[in-house]
Structure 1
Amino acid sequence: MKASHTIRPVFDDPNLVSAAGLVPALRLAESAGLYDLLEERLSVPSANATVKAASVVGGMLAGADSIDDLDVLRHGGMERVFTGVRAPSTLGTFLRSFTHGHVQQLDAVGAGLLAGLAGRVPGVLAGADIEQGLAFLDVDDTIREVHGYRKQGAGYGYTRVRGLNIQIAALSTPLAGPVIARARLRKGNTGSARGAGRMVAQAVTTARAAGVRGRILCRADSAYYGWAFVGAALRANAWFSVTARMTKTVTRAIAGLAEDAWQTIKYPHAVWEEAEQRWISDAEVAEVGFVAFTGRRQHQHVPCRLVVRRVKRIQPLASDGSEQGELFAAYRHHAFITNSSFTTVEADQLHRDHAIVEQVIAELKDGPLAHLPSGKYAANAAWVSLAVIGFNIARAAAVAAGLAKARWATLRRQIIQVPARIAATGRRLVLHLPTHWPWAHAWGALHARATSPPQPVTP
């Protein structure tokens, strides 16, 4: 490929748009109830709050990761295609008018929209709408580094960088990619597990409202190993799968496992042995009955299963001479507690899939959460809530377009950021999209879904 030397660039066409995919994406959001929910629930003291909130979401879908970037909506013929486009300065003032209560209203809007999107695009939560189905609720948090001393709430957390903490509950199924059930912004020095019980309770409620009828498995890493997370899962009648901290009781239980209790599992570099019909690898799993949180009150003791995966160390540690020391010197042990009914191998495999929440965090940081754009804490919290709304719209749009495995950046590149020329015929606008666009069929599938009448609800 080589650029022509005869090109003379001129920015003078008022009928071009660079993000034509926003048309079906926002039409899908509208059909799922976004504008009605904003109008009904958002009471922030700002004129045309619904239009402004939708403008922020639209900018995020188009790739904006700061308030200034929201100006991407004001170019060419965008104001002919969309009504209510606002300037970045107006949207910044709008975000700064939020309080904590208004952010919670946005969270409620996001929960209602997820239910609407699941109804419009059933594949968003494929397989979880039957009583025998299964859904995963993965909770984790991340530090979004910030700069400048005027960022309210910024502090040094577990990463030892100055930032703000974002807690996320991602909802997925074995057949569908993750959406976000709940998310919240917290101060930078907040402990990971703080508020975990409330997060789980709200996320399970959101999942049920979105049509999840099957069993929910709540998964988390060792930062959430505690009664707050597990107790919330039990109260919600959900299963839990939480990485255990290597306390004395846990290590004692691991050391008590008999050698014949371990079974080999498929793991990186594993080899299938046909003659013996088993995997040959350095990873094995075993389980033992366990009672967690015995240091708490009697009614908060949790009988469960302790599932342990052990992997041979490449270079064994120096032993202390004891039998238990030999065990932990030769192997690395990863234990988690669960109350699920899966087999030992299945439980271990499903627990390792908890890392899907890291994919969600990476997508957000590659998009609107590349920055937390305001110095005001509530404005940044509103930005996070609107980013969640944008993420779920993008995920539903990807499923509707037949790109269920696509990440947000891929959706932007293939569907959203498609250039088009506007033409008028009678009272209609026509979008002339590029010929031979590789993903034209996917774009058309999304547009067809977004503009089709709602499907009848089956009892």
Structure 2
Amino acid sequence: MQFKHAPVAVSAVFDDPNLVSVAGLVPMLRLARSAGLDELAQSRLSVPTDKGANSGGKVMALVAGMLAGADSIDDMNLLRHGGMGRLFDRTYAPSTLGSFLREFRFGHGRQLDAVASRTLVNLASAAPLLQIRDGERVMVDVDDTIIEVHGYQKQGASFGYSGVRGLNALVATASTTTSAPVILAQRLRQGKTGSPKGAARIVADTLATLRRMDLGSSVRPLLRADSAFYGHATIGTAIKAGADVSVTVRADVSVTVRMDPAVKTAIATIPEDGWETIEYPNAIRDEVTGRWISKAEVAEVPFTAFRSRKIAERVEGRLVVRRIPDLNPKQVEQPTLFDSYRHHAFFTTTDKQTMGTVAADKTHRGHAIIEQVHADLKAGPLAHLPSGVFTANSAWLVLAVIAFNLTRAAGLIADRGGRLARATTATIRRTLISVPARLARTTRRIILHLPDAWPWQTAFDRLFTATHAPPPPPRPADHRRHQRHDRERSGQPG
């Protein structure tokens, strides 16, 4: 691509007060308001009055900045250009929003968690965030990640398990085979925090939010996690809340971590003819036999987890084991008489009749989907943790999750069944949010003049129409309650 008229000089002047670069914030903030974000934040946050005045508006401003691509406090200036002041009310200065976040304490963070979960439940009623087919499960994934930080003024920052100096973010997501993940719970922790610390609380909050989304009483969630979360607290909490589990067990004899003796004994009882070849990376399908030619095999054996605990606290299930040849065995001086394998096992409470050995292994490997969520967040608001105050960064994480879930709902509304329904946040921002527009005003009406031939015009129109639809008529009970409220305000007898 090049200039149509190369000899013509081009100049740039920032002088148009009627232009905005993120017209897609109009339907996005409408969607946030319909989900009750501003009202929930205003009623539930008890941030001190001098800094927490109009908490709902400040939360909306922070989420709007994240939707537009802000990954720091200074980036909130993105909301204060051109015609944004004519289009939106209370476009706060970055310094005001930064002061608001620094007033947060631990209790305020928990209040914001409640706002995030209730906003998600309300979004689920506006868009089918978790579409469930007959007999399908909702997959709940829990995992943590290290968010790298720089400088020595970050409270709680330290070197974690990855060897990177940062803070630890624990995230829980829910997804199905046809629905992209949404985030149900989150928690920011010190960088040196062990992965399982506080996981039981996150699992309880996640499954409670999932129940409020009203997916049906027959839907039994499946909690997937890696070996760091193989503990009675996490697994027991999930089972008590009505979920099944699929959690990795440290069973790889080639790593430095010692194998659990009970797991080692269980693997040793698997007969050689009990192993079944599975589809694995670089596997080849034999057209004659219909079998996969691969070095990966899978088998299972009944297993009781936590046998050292009281009988009531033991968990019955099955141990599914995947083995692959160890291409770098410890005996390197001479070849071994028998093949040596690396074993990777996970414990699951799912029923073998409904989920066989191969299906259970394939389902468990799908846990890697949460890594994509971590990458999505780090490519957006979590590219930086903007404050030196730990509780401010904790609130920033919750707000980033709210923005993430809003983009999931917007993609579904704009392009249900299409590419945007499962697109990343960056794609939603590029196609539906970062749309330039020129403002024109008539009597009591603002018109957004958008670019001609915008490639995603149909999706934008669908989102804009859905978020600007008139509100549904009130239910009879709501109508009576509003009448009673009006009588009380006017002093009339009830």
SS in 2 for 1:205: helix
Partner residue of 2:37 out of 25, 34, 37:
34
> Which residue of the other structure, out of 150, 164, 167, is the alignment partner of 1:147?
150
1:238-249 matches, cutoff 5 A: 238-246=243-251, 247-249=260-262
- After TM superposition, give the deviation of residue 14 of structure 1 in Å: 0.5
1:97 aligns with 2:110: no
Q: For the residues of structure 2 that align with 1:93 and 1:99, how far apart are their CA atoms?
A: 13
- Give me the whole-angstrom Cα distance separating, in 2, the residues matched to 1:94 and 1:226: 38
Deviations, residues 313-363 of structure 1 (Å, cap 9, x unaligned): 4455528999xx977x63222110000121111111110000111111100
Provide closer, same or farther for how the CA distance between residues 41 and 319 of structure 1 changes in structure 2, counting only shifts above 3 A. Answer: same
- What does 1:369-408 correspond to in 2, within 5 Å? 369-402=382-415, 403-408=420-425
Where 2:47 maps in the other structure, the secondary structure is: coil
User: Once structures 1 and 2 are overlaid, which stretch shifts more, 36-45 or 380-389?
Assistant: 36-45
Measure the CA separation in 2 of the matches of 1:335 and 1:320: 29
Residues 117-144 of structure 1 show CA distances to partners (whole Å, capped at 9, x for unaligned) of 000012x11117x8x4421110000111
Mapped to 2, the partners of 1:179 and 1:251 lie a distance apart of: 36
Distance in 1 (alpha carbons) for counterparts of 2:144 and 2:152? 23
Give the Cα separation in 2 of the matches to 1:320 and 1:50.
Answer: 68
1:446 to 460, 463, 470: 463
Instruction: Measure how far apart 1:455 and its partner are.
Output: 6.9
Q: Paired residue for 1:9?
A: 12
1:429 matched to 2:442? The reply is: no
CA distance in 2, matches of 1:228, 1:189: 20
CA-to-aligned-CA distance 1:94-150 (integer Å, 9 cap, x gap): 00011111111110000001111000012x11117x8x4421110000111112222
| Amino acid in the other structure paired with 1:419 | P
Which one of the candidate residues 290, 297, 317 is aligned to 1:284? 297
What residue identity is the alignment partner of 2:461? G
Write the letter of the residue equivalent to 1:64.
A
Alignment pair present for 1:163 and 2:169: no
Secondary structure in 1 aligned to 2:203?
helix
Mean alpha-carbon deviation: is it higher for 272-281 or for 212-221? Answer: 272-281
2:42 counterpart SS class:
helix
Distance 1:238 1:320, change over 3 A: farther
Aligned counterpart in structure 1 of residue 124 of structure 2, from 98, 112, 118: 118
Given that 1:282 and 1:311 are in contact with CA atoms closer than 8 Å, whether structure 2 keeps it comes out as yes
1:249-271 deviation line (CA, Å, top 9, x unaligned): 21222222111111111122222
Q: Distance in 1 between matches of 2:20 and 2:428?
A: 17
CA contact (8 A) 1:120 1:455 kept: no
Indicate the residue corresponding to 1:193 in structure 2. Answer: 196
Contact 2:36 2:122 in 1 (8 A): yes
Q: Which amino acid aligns with 2:91?
A: V
Counterpart Cα distance in 2 of 1:25 and 1:185: 26
Contact map agreement 2:296 2:322 (CA 8 A) in 1: yes
Matches within 5 A, 1:288-299: 288-299=301-312
Shift of 1:160: 2.0
Which stretch has the larger CA shift, 35-44 or 177-186? 35-44
**Are the equivalent residues in 2 in contact too, given 1:120–1:454 (CA < 8 A)?**
no
Segments of 5+ residues of structure 2 without an aligned counterpart are: 252-259, 475-494
- Letter paired with 2:207: V
Relative distance call for 1:453 and 1:263 in structure 2 (3 A) is farther
Contact 2:250 2:344 in 1 (8 A): no
Q: Which has the larger radius of gyration?
A: 2
2:432 to 415, 420, 423: 415
In 1, Cα distance between equivalents of 2:244 and 2:141: 12
CA contact (8 A) 1:219 1:242 kept: yes
Alignment CA distance shift 1:239-1:455 (3 Å): farther
What number of residue pairs does the alignment pair up? 451
Cα 1:455–1:343 shift into 2, 3 Å: farther
Query: Residue in 2 aligned with 1:75?
Result: 81
Q: State TM-score, norm by structure 1.
A: 0.94
Aligned equivalents of 2:438 and 2:119: distance in 1?
31
Query: Equivalents in 2 of 1:10, 1:189: separation in Å?
Result: 49
* CA distance, structure 2, for counterparts of residue 453 and residue 209 of structure 1: 26
Q: CA deviation at 1:48?
A: 1.2
CA deviation map 1:26-62 (0-9, x unaligned)? 1111111112211221121211111111100000000
Distance 1:336 1:118 in 2: 32
Name the CA distance, whole Å, in 2 between partners of 1:412 and 1:155. 32
Could you tell me whether the CA contact under 8 Å between 2:408 and 2:422 is conserved in 1? Answer: no
Alignment partner of 1:232: what SS? Answer: helix
**What letter matches 1:264 in structure 2?**
T
Aligned to 1:205: 208
What's the RMSD between the two structures over aligned residues?
2.0
State the AA in 1 paired with 2:463: L
Instruction: Letter of the 1:187 partner, please give it.
Output: Q
Q: Does 1:362 align with 2:371?
A: no
For the 8 Å contact 1:288–1:305, the answer to whether it is kept is: yes
1:312 aligns with 2:325: yes
Tell me by how many angstroms 1:238 deviates. 0.4
Secondary structure class of the residue paired with 1:66: coil
CA distance in 2, matches of 1:437, 1:312: 53
Calculate percent identity across the aligned residue pairs: 54
What is the alpha-carbon distance in structure 1 between the residues aligned to residue 278 and residue 473 of structure 2? 45
The SS at the match of 1:306 is: strand
Show the counterpart of 2:349.
339
Contact 2:37 2:56 in 1 (8 A): no
Distance 1:148 1:285, change over 3 A: same
Task: State the Cα distance separating 1:162 from its structure 2 match.
Answer: 1.8
- SS in structure 2 opposite 1:134? coil
Picking from 50, 62, 66, the partner of 2:56 is 50
Q: Distance in 2 between matches of 1:356 and 1:49?
A: 34
Structure 1 residues 326 and 427 mapped into 2: Cα distance closer, same or farther (>3 Å)?
A: farther
Amino acid of the structure 2 residue aligned with 1:10: V
Aligned-partner Cα distance in 2 for 1:334–1:27: 47
How far apart, in 2, do the equivalents of 1:312 and 1:357 lie?
27
How far off is 1:391 after superposition? 0.7
Q: Aligned in 2, Cα 1:241/1:20: closer, same or farther, shift over 3 Å?
A: same
Alignment partners' CA distance in 1, 2:306 and 2:465: 52
